[in-house]
Amino acid sequence: MPALANKTYFNYGGQGPLPDPSLAAITSAWATIQELGPFTADVWPFVGRTTESLRQRLAQWFGVSPRRLAFTENVTSGCVLPLWGLPWRSGDELLLSDAEHPGVLAACQELARREQLGLAVLPVQDLCGSEATAAAGVLEALEASLTPRTRLVALSHLLWNTGQTMPIAAVAERLAAHPNHPWLLVDGAQSLGSLPVASAAVAADIYACTGHKWCCGPEGLGAVALSERLLAESRPTLIGWRSLANESSGGSSFHADARRFEVATSCVPLAAGLSTSLQLLEAEGDAATRLEAIRQRSHQLWQGLQLLPGVHTLLQVPPPAGLVSFTLADTGGQVRVPAHVVQQLGAQRIWLRSLDDPACLRACTHLTTSAAEVKQLLAALA
C-alpha cells in the first residue's frame, strides 16, 4: 500500500489505502478495454465477466443471492435509490437513530418533506457499554419508539461516531412482528471489511456498503443488498439503461432483481480493483478471523488511552470492532478542539480524523495496523 509508506494511518473509516495489486488490476482492466475497443462486440464479454464475478463475490460476503445485490457508487446512493422508490403514504413515520450519517439523515428528511411523512428519533448514541448491554438497550429503545405509524427504521450496523455495533438481526425480528412490518434500512459503511455482515445483510431490507473504506478498494463503487419484499414493492427512481432487462422496450422492462436500481454507464475497472482488494482480505482469513485481528489493535489502543490523563473514550469497554473514538483535554481540563488535534498529529505524519457529533477524535485500526503504530499514536497523544 503506497499510501502507508510515508505516514502512520488511522482513518480506514474514512478511506482505506489502495493496495498495489488492486491498482494494477484497475490499470490492467483499463488497458484491456482499450485494446478490445470500447463499445465493440469483443469488449462486452470482458465487462460482463468483470462485473458479475464481483457481484458473486460480494453476494457471498453479504450472505445473499446475487439477484438481491445492486452496484452503487457509494453508501448514500445505495440507501436512497431503493428508499425513495417505496410506496409511502402521507402520515407514515420514519424512525431514525440519533447516530446516523448526515448523508442518510438528510435524504430521509427530504423524503419526509416531499411525502409528508413524520420523523422520530431512536436514541442509541449513548449506548456505550458492552455489545450485549448495547443490544438490550437498542431493543428497549425500539420498543419505546415504535408507533402504529412507523414505516421505516434507519439504523447503522457499526455506528460511525461511537464505534458501537447494533443488533440488526434482532431489530429486524422485532419489526417483523409490528403490524406495519416497517422497512429496515441499514448503513453498512463501517461494517463491510471490518466485521461479519451476513446475518445483518440477510435480515435488512436495505443494507448499503462501500468498497473504499474497510475493504481498501477504489472510491466510486459500492453495493446494496435488498430484501425480496423490497424488490417486490419498490420501484426504480433514478433510471437508466442498466435498470432495464431489455433496452428496446423502455420502462416496461425493468430488471426483476436488484439490478433495477443500477442506472447507467459506470467505471468497470473499479470492479476489478475492488475484487482484488476483497481477495487480499480473504487471504487473511474469514470475517471472524479478520475481526479478531482488528480487535487486537483497537483494544491495545483503547487500553492505552485509559492510561493517558485527560483522555475520555466514548465506549466504556474495549470496542467491538476497529473504531476508537475519544476526547482529549489539556492539563487544565479544557477539552481540545478535535480538528486542531488532527492538524497537530498530521504535522507528525500521523493521521486520524475529527467528528462533529459528538465532537471527538476517531482512530481506526485495521489488519495493516501494527502494535508499534498504536504505540506511536499513544506517545504522540501523551
In terms of domains, do 299 and 275 share one? no
| Residues 344, 265 share a domain | no
Whether 27 is covered by a domain: the verdict is no
Ramachandran region, residue 66 (left: φ > 0; alpha: ψ -120 to 50; beta: rest): alpha
- Per residue in 194-235, pLDDT (tens digit) is 999 999 999 999 999 999 999 999 999 999 999 999 999 999
- Long-range contacts, 281-289 (Cβ 8 Å, 24+): 281/193, 281/215, 281/216, 281/367, 284/367, 287/61, 287/195, 287/196, 287/197, 287/198, 288/196
What's the CA gap between 95 and 161, in Å, rounded?
Answer: 19
- Bridge-based pairing of strands 206-210 and 222-226 is antiparallel
Closest CA to 71 of 276, 254, 270: 270
Residue-wise pLDDT for 77-126, tens only, equals 999 999 999 999 999 999 999 999 999 999 999 999 999 999 999 999 99
Here the CATH number for the domain that contains residue 267 is: 3.40.640.10
* H or E segment to which residue 69 belongs: strand 69-72
User: Is residue 248 pLDDT above 90, yes or no?
Assistant: no
Residue 23 inside a domain? The answer is no
CATH of the domain at 330: 3.90.1150.10
Last residue of a domain, one of 280, 302, 330: 280
Cα 59–chain centre separation: 15
Residues 258-303: tens digit of each pLDDT: 999 999 999 999 999 999 999 999 999 999 999 999 999 999 999 9
Q: How many domains does the chain have?
A: 2
Looking at residue 249, its pLDDT comes to: 61
Instruction: Assess if residue 26 is contained within a domain.
Output: no
User: Same domain for 169 and 301?
Assistant: no
Same domain? For 173 and 206 the reply is yes
Q: Where are the beta strands (DSSP E) in 188-310?
A: 206-210, 222-226
Query: What is the model's pLDDT at position 250?
Result: 57
Final residue before a domain boundary, out of 241, 257, 280: 280
Q: Which residue has the cell 435488498?
A: 226
Tell me, yes or no, whether 267 and 322 share the same domain: no
What are the cell numbers at 340? 486542531
**pLDDT band at 251, cuts 50/70/90?**
low
pLDDT at 247 over 90: no
pTM: 0.96
The parent domain of residue 211 ranges over 34-280
Looking at 251, 280, 309, the residue that finishes a domain is 280
Spatial separation of the C-alpha atoms in residues 371 and 116, rounded to whole Å: 52
